[in-house]
Amino acid sequence: MSHQADSLAERTYALVVGVESYDALGRDWRLPGAAHDAHSFARWLTGCGHVPPANVRLLLSPLPGTALPDTDGLPDARPATEANIKHALLTDLASRDGDVLWIYWAGHGFVNSIGDPLLPYADASGSSISNLNLGSALRHWRSDSVSRRRFRRQIALVDACRVDERQAARLRFEDTRFREGLRVGGREQYVLYAARPGEVARNQPGQQSGLFTQTLLKRLEGLSVQRSIERLTEIAQGLQCDFETMRGNGLARQTPTFEIHRGWKDSAVFVEPASEEAEDGAPRLDQPAWDGLAALAREHPLPACAHDAYRWAFDVCRCAAPLSDAVPEGGLTEIVRDLDDHQGRPGLPLALPFVRYLAAHAPDREWGARLDTWVEQTRTRIGALPVPPAPEPPQEPGALHVQLGKAPLEPGGYLIRLWRYRGRFTSEWESGTALALPLARDEVGRRIADLVERYIDEDPDGTAPDIERVEFHIPRELLDEEFENWAVPAGAEDGTEPMGVLFEVVVRCPDERRGVARQKWRAKWRALERQGRGGWEAPRVDASQPVWVVSESEAPGNLSALLQAKDLPVCVLAGVEHARLGDVLKAVLSSGVPIAVWRRGEPPDGGPEDLATALAPSSKPIDLRTLPGTVRRLRIAAEQPLVLLWDDPNRRPESGRLTS
């Protein structure tokens, strides 16, 4: 290595940050791999780059219990807190007599309304998320706020999402600005991002690495600091080609971008991927499109498939969907406006596949046909690419609905009625007279077995969906009854199986949804349809997560009021002792919350969070719409004696009152 390269390395300083754990923001903020990536980048700086370890400020917040690779030869790491990062970047490094500054950041990321990256600190809190405004910090470093004689070359590498903060409306980001003085001529600044604005940067938890950093380090391998600076633009363009290939293979959706701010060889440029297709953005909707869409929106409420349509639009356009799994607030035109603000695929705006999906899945087929006409007329008029056909609507599995109503003249007796649901409700059987619960248990098991066998005989080709779920409509007093363990004849003449093994078994209390609770019940179910997956949190008045974990210490006396303050939460995980469970479930029903999960018997010693861990291992968001199947699998594994309240207001037979 030349003396010049050694000399430059000795006058190179770096801030290297990796944030995996955001303790105060909850489990769903965990980002396994970010600290490992920062460690790997620091290893390149001090290895191939020959930067003295004393010149590197390493700030890491790994997940608890995480062991980083060999740290020999690296500087001691400090937590990536607001105080530590600000001191390192604004005070310590700014006072050093250096020529080159590297800033590397791996963690969560957002952008504000003017495009400045907002990078949350490890100690950020939910009430107000403290963050490094990297845009302001870079302007600070370009100005005379840093001595004119120092750091003529500055490189920032950001392995973080660039999600618009407006897409995370429930999060409150601190508005942080730094002193941005007069610009210093000749100071060169280069910024390489893992993704374009609005995109999500892919993390690879299994490999403990972000895809961007993993690919970047391969490009930097074997290069000195001198050579890497000389080849920065070449490295970035090669990186973009790498990602273009990965996108073509379905391995990536993000597009790395780089900016060279004024002073780098006396130029100021912004370069997109090196391909002709990327130079042409998606056309925006025109005024006739908006007028037609507004008319369609007035004809019909937004279908329940809006969440799937939203996600499919990003898949079709090969774009990274926003970090939040929820559909934006509002109706049809508001969601389309959100999509129109995104880049889309060159030649194909996101709005068109979104509406195409709604058209294919709309319950009102005439309205769906008008949506399809809107798509084709708009596409032709604005010159967009053809829109592929939407996937076929999934055939909804059949379900049996069992109503147990209290007999008005016979205490302890129940009137029973069974319906089958297969696109519509059909009445199958009713008891006619009241039955005591033990007799009802045996009779319902036999009737279900007979009905399933009859359906099979009527459908020898297997074209109708099988019975997969049994939904019990019950009064609140029966929530302790172990319906999932009711026996159903199966196999040999005297053989039986627990109902919860054969079917998804859920309980419902629709008759408890009276008055205002009925209105909240429907509103919260609509919020569920927008969510898909969701994180969890303890009860609080400014709810931002769709799932609440209620424990002995987090079951306030005003729980019902907190639950109905907003459309979130839509699900409660009740990790309380049996003596308090009744009060929690009463609050759930009176506030309109449609979903709840709790255990039979007393909670285990592990605590209420174990419920969330059982439903979503590895700290992933809970997939709310697949809870019935998830609970059934846990029951079969004999790991969790769980109860699932699953009260869908759209799946309720109009039975009238049963009489003896």
Q: Could you tell me the pLDDT band of residue 42, with boundaries at 50, 70 and 90?
A: very high
Judge contact between 192 and 227, C-beta under 8 A.
no
CA atoms within 13 A on the CB side of 232: 23
The dihedrals phi and psi of 614, each to the nearest 5 degrees, come to -65, -40
So what's the pLDDT on residue 92? 93
pLDDT tens, 606-619?
555 577 878 876 55
Q: Name the residue with tokens 């925006």.
A: 284
So what's the pLDDT on residue 655? 55
pLDDT tens, 424-453?
899 999 998 999 999 999 999 999 999 998
So what's the pLDDT on residue 238? 87
60-64, 212-216, 260-264: least confidently modelled range = 260-264
What's the whole-model pTM score? 0.57
Judge contact between 324 and 406, C-beta under 8 A.
no
**CA 614, CA 274: separation in Å to the nearest integer?**
45
Q: Which residue has the higher pLDDT, 578 or 169?
A: 578
End-to-end CA distance of the chain: 95
Residue 280 has pLDDT above 70, yes or no: no
| Mean pLDDT for all residues in the chain | 85
Q: For the structural domain made of 3-278, what CATH number should be given?
A: 3.40.50.1460
Residue 626 has pLDDT above 50, yes or no: yes
So what's the pLDDT on residue 150? 84
Within 10 A of 205 (CB to CB), how many other CB atoms are there?
14
Greatest Cα-to-Cα distance within the chain, rounded to the nearest angstrom: 99
pLDDT tens, 298-346?
988 888 888 889 888 888 887 766 655 567 777 898 889 888 877 666 7
Q: Could you tell me the pLDDT band of residue 54, with boundaries at 50, 70 and 90?
A: very high
Q: Work out whether strand 163-164 and strand 153-159 pair parallel, antiparallel, or are unpaired.
A: unpaired
pLDDT tens, 120-148?
999 998 778 999 999 999 999 988 888 87
Q: What is the CA radius of gyration of the chain?
A: 29
Instruction: Give 3-state DSSP helix, strand, coil % of the chain, rounded to 5.
Output: 40, 20, 40
Q: Of the segments 50-64, 195-209, 390-404, which one has the largest average pLDDT value?
A: 50-64
Provide the total of helices (H) and of strands (E) in the chain, helices listed first.
Answer: 19, 28
**Where along the chain do its domains lie?**
3-278, 287-382, 398-505, 509-646
Q: Which residues contact 193 (CB under 8 A, 6 or more apart)?
A: 117, 158, 162, 256, 257, 258, 259
Residue 376 has pLDDT above 50, yes or no: yes
So what's the pLDDT on residue 263? 44
pLDDT tens, 377-427?
999 999 888 999 998 877 777 899 999 999 988 888 999 999 999 888 999
